[in-house]
Structure 1
Amino acid sequence: MHTDTERCVRAVRSKDARFDGVFFTAVRTTRIYCRPSCPAVPPKDENMEFHPSAASCQRAGFRACKRCRPDTSPGSPQWDVRADAVARAMRLIRDGVVDREGVPGLAARLGYSARQIERQLLAELGAGPLALARAQRAQTARLLIETTPLPMAEIAFAAGFSSIRTFNDTVREVFALAPGELRSRAGGPRTAPAATPGTIALRLPFRAPLNPSNLFGHLAATAVPGVEEWRDGAYRRTLALPYGHGIVALAPRADHVLCRLSLTDPRDLTHAISRCRWLLDLDADPVAVDGQLRADPLLAPLVDAAPGRRVPRTVDAAEFAVRAVLGQQVSTAAARTHAARLVTAHGVPVDDPEGGLTHLFPAPAALAGLDPETLALPRSRRTTLLTLVRALADGALTLGPESDWDEARARLRDLPGFGPWTTEVIAMRALGDPDAFLPGDLGVRRAAEGLGLPGTPAALTARAAHWRPWRAYAVQYLWATDAHPINHLPA
């Protein structure tokens, strides 16, 4: 997008918010970079240059605009849509892998050398992995400075900086203001005060429109007792994080999602925010998705009635894979019961002073030694579950932001008991493939027949070719035709 100068200029002139985060506008005369929708008077065309990332702007010597705050725009949707090495690298950087494992750790997860990753990111984004991670740290720091009362020293380490001096220097360089000045300009916290000391309250931006009904309805209706719950208008769950654990509460609002995080180790903040955005699919581009699906006259009424549906995802791909196996050919209630038994027997206990959460979902290593006789499942499903958790525990199967979608599908299909439905629902909700499709799902087939679409999986797959690459979103619209609780916000 940033290489199409004429299109970028039009977006800036029209202040089109759809492109916020997709590209950034740098002004040569002021040395400031903005989001396309910046309310300031647009500069002259010859004074504008366009960059694919905030890190690229910073690397070229530009500072973030104090008015439109380009560093707080939603993430670029292309990193969730694409499956190539650069997109996978960006998803890992967003998850904080560079801060925890360095560039060698990032490269090892992707199966490339550090030099190859550096070269690919520079070619496409104008910045290497260290610069991209630095830009993310600066964004997290600004968020904490402006929306929380945390001391600056705590903010520095929570944002991923190795020292307070580096934190101060980076904030001054990126925003042309000292950390204290940033806080003074913000005029105090912009989110409601946290109910419990140590809880961080912040806003998660998204591209409008966002329809919360199927998103939060699905998460609430399938919630595993002890791990997830719907309480006081918010979806709450426990999080297993690299340095400790946490509890998050996510509540939909008109122009943002209110996020309250309680962490045992503040260094997990970047990773927790990334996981929450991924869970709610907040970096999606609903205008592009809905525009493609509206082209089908049979889907158009569904899209027009409730635009902006997202794909409910997960905070942990391995956890979701286990839950997908437990949910094979049973009701939602039965799947929750099976998962709750595993949680009670093998999950790590946690304290939750604000609600009823009791455990972290057990990791694959904790389930690998299960006695199959203790599982109230058919024998074939016991084999499927145990084979899955052992493959995840010993590294034979990797599911996460670094996963190659096609390779992960192939490895899943090689496991006993993994048919098309289980493989595709994991690809959709755990791996984030926007084109994952469930033509054999009962709810999808019922909706298809009701709309006059083909009823058989093969014929429906052929018909759905027009929906690509957004078939996962088409599934959400088809599911929403049912009165199932997953399609409605809880009372």
Structure 2
Amino acid sequence: MYDDFDRCYRAVQSKDGRFDGWFVTTVLTTGIYCRPSCPARPPRARNVRFLPTAAAAQGAGFRACKRCRPDASPGSPEWNVRTDAVARAMRLIADGTVDREGVTGLATRVGYTTRQLERLLQAEVGANPLAMARAQRTQTARMLIETTDMPFGDVAFAAGFASIRQFNDTVRAACASTPTELRLQARTPRRAGTTTGAGFMSVKLAVRRPFAYEGLFGHLAASGIPGVEEFRDGAYRRTMRLPSGNAVVSLRPHPDHVRCDLMLDDVRDLSTAIARTRRLLDLDADPEAVVDHLGADQHLAAVVAKAPGQRLPGTVDAEELAVRVVLGQQVSVKAARTHARRLVEAYGSPIDDVEGGLTHVFPDSTQLADIDPALMAFPKSRQRTLVGLVRGLLDGFVSLGPGSDWNTAREQLLALPGIGPWTTEVIAMRGLGDPDAFPASDLGVLSAAKQLDLPFDARALVAHSSRWRPWRAYATQHLWTALDHDVNVWPPKETS
């Protein structure tokens, strides 16, 4: 989009927040870059250049605007609607792959040589992988500086910097202020108790409006596994496994943001935890594009207008989601929760939760390698499916994660015994975030389709759904919200 100067400049003139994260505005006369919705007076067109990312702007020598804080805007929705190498690389960078495995590890995961991947990213996003990772570290550091009382040494460590000097130099170059100055200039007062320990922090996660969070949070709460997830004190809470330890995240939705409280075993996991939480809540979506497209269908127009801005209920771990979907084949939500609870209690990692009732982290494929069939109180055919999925994940035959190619993952899943289109599409939708995934045979989808005078035969509905592409997953979410079901109730009627 940043190549369309006239469209971008119109967005800047109107201070349109819908375009925050799509591009940044660089001002040649001041050396500053801003988000499109910056409240400052729009610069003259001849003094403006548009770049795709904050990393590209920083690489070109521009400093972040202290007023609109472009490095804190929502992420670009573009990387979540594409499955090409650049999009997969961007999702992996957000997940912290460069910091953990280097550029070589990133390139290997995407299936390119390091040089090929660097050329692709430079051409499309204006920065190489190291610059993108550096910009992400800077964003994390600024967030911690301005919203917590953490000592700067701990901030540098948590943000992923190799040294205090590198931290100071990078923040000063990117923000035109020292860490001390940023903390003093922070305009929003820090919330009492923002840092109650080395691993606790509270942040606001930015969203694009409209944000219809009831269906999203209702779905997560209704399908939550006891011990792994719960509703408590107005928040959805859950455990998650991270590269350097475990974490508990507590999430409270608001119309324009989500309050995120994190308790981390290791603060180095902060950026990854935030990235995975954003994927869980689909916070980098482009709701206006979805509303405009789906609202044009007369059958969906009413449900779209009733609750615009639906998000896809995602996951913090695609492998976990895949196991849960298999457990939920042909059973109710309540039965699926029961099966998952037994699995968690037998194989999950125990965790201490001083703030609530969470007890375990969901087991990974290694922990499920020798699963006891006696614990699987469901048909033998589904037992074979679960064992086959776990083996596929262990030996690498099935690859699920931020850098996965959605269509390749579908082929790998469909090759496993007992996994058909419904299972595959739900995993693609909720586990991988494919915005065009469509579980047409889902009973809830078909029931809602009948209510809305849509075809309620799966094959006919697939044919009709072609007009919803590339947003069929969001059409699915809108269809689910048409039902009288607990997944649409927030706050939930009962605690988990």
Smaller-chain TM-score range? over 0.9
In the alignment, residue 449 of structure 1 is paired with which amino acid?
K
What SS is found at the alignment partner of 1:225?
A: coil
TM-score (norm 1): 0.99
Q: 1:289 and 1:168 mapped to 2: Cα distance?
A: 41
State how far apart, in whole Å, the 2-side matches of 1:308 and 1:218 are.
15
Distance in structure 2 (CA, Å) of the matches to 1:249 and 1:196:
15
Following superposition, the deviation at residue 458 of structure 1 comes to 1.2
Q: CA deviation at 1:260?
A: 0.3
Q: Whole-Å Cα distance in 2 between the matches of residues 189 and 158 of structure 1?
A: 21
Structure 1 runs of 4+ aligned residues shifted over 4 Å read none
**Deviation (angstroms), 1:193:** 2.5
Give, in angstroms, the shift of residue 370 of structure 1. 1.2
Check whether the contact 2:195–2:201 (CA below 8 A) recurs between aligned residues: no
What residue is the counterpart of 1:240 in the other structure?
A: 241
Q: CA deviation at 1:188?
A: 6.8
Deviations 1:351-372 (A, max 9, x none): 0000000011001011011122
Q: Helix, strand or coil: the match of 1:161? A: coil
Distance 1:467-1:214 versus aligned 2 partners, 3 A rule = same
Q: State the distance in 2 between where 1:272 and 1:110 align.
A: 21
How far the C-alpha of 1:449 sits from its partner, in A, is 1.0
- Classify the secondary structure of the residue corresponding to 1:364: coil
Distance (whole Å) between structure 1 residues aligned to residue 142 and residue 191 of structure 2: 14
Alpha-carbon shift at residue 297 of structure 1 (Å):
1.1
Give the C-alpha shift of residue 190 in structure 1.
3.4
- Number of corresponding residues: 491
Is 1:90 the counterpart of 2:90? The answer is yes
CA distance in 2, matches of 1:12, 1:249: 35
Task: State the 1:457 CA deviation.
Answer: 1.0
Instruction: After TM superposition, give the deviation of residue 192 of structure 1 in Å.
Output: 5.0
Does structure 2 retain, via aligned residues, the 8 Å contact 1:241–1:268? yes
Give the corresponding residue for 2:23.
23
- Kept after mapping to 1: 8 A contact 2:455/2:464: yes
Question: What's the counterpart of residue 41 of structure 2?
Answer: 41
Q: Which moved more, 1:390-399 or 1:203-212?
A: 390-399
**CA-atom RMSD, angstroms?**
1.0
Matches within 5 A, 1:271-290: 271-290=272-291
Corresponding position: 1:418 with 2:419: yes
Q: Find the residue that maps to 1:171 and give its secondary structure.
A: helix
CA distance in structure 2 between the aligned counterparts of 1:192 and 1:475, rounded to whole angstroms: 40
1:248–1:259 contact (8 Å) kept in structure 2 = yes
Task: List alignment gaps of at least 5 residues for structure 1.
Answer: none
Are 1:396 and 2:397 counterparts? Answer: yes
Assess if the C-alpha contact under 8 Å between 2:422 and 2:439 holds in 1: yes
- Cα distance, 1:391 vs. partner? 1.1
Residue 340 of structure 1 corresponds to which residue in structure 2? Answer: 341
The superposition leaves residues 167-201 of structure 1 with CA deviations (integer Å, 9 ceiling, x where unpaired) of 00000000000001000001575345248534200
Identity %: 62
- Looking at structure 2, the residues matched to 4 and 189 of structure 1 have their Cα atoms a distance apart, in angstroms, of 38
In the alignment, the residues of structure 2 paired with residue 187 and residue 19 of structure 1 have an alpha-carbon distance, to the nearest angstrom, of 23
* CA deviations over 1:130-173 (Å, ceiling 9, x no partner): 00000010000000000011110000010011111100000000
CA distance in 2, matches of 1:48, 1:104: 35
Report the equivalent of 1:439: 440
Contact 1:365 1:390 in 2 (8 A): no
Structure 2 CA distance for aligned equivalents of residues 185 and 195 of structure 1: 19
1:149/1:189 contact within 8 Å kept: no
Q: 1:52·1:125 contact (CA, 8 Å) conserved in 2?
A: yes
TM-superposed deviation, 1:7: 0.7
1:390 Cα deviation from its structure 2 partner: 1.1
Cα deviation, 1:438-482, whole Å, max 9, x if unaligned, reads: 111111111111111111111111111111100000001101111
Deviation digits for residues 306-327 of structure 1 (CA, Å, limit 9, x no counterpart):
1111000000000000000000
* TM-score under structure 2 length normalisation: 0.98
Unaligned stretches of 5+ in structure 2? none
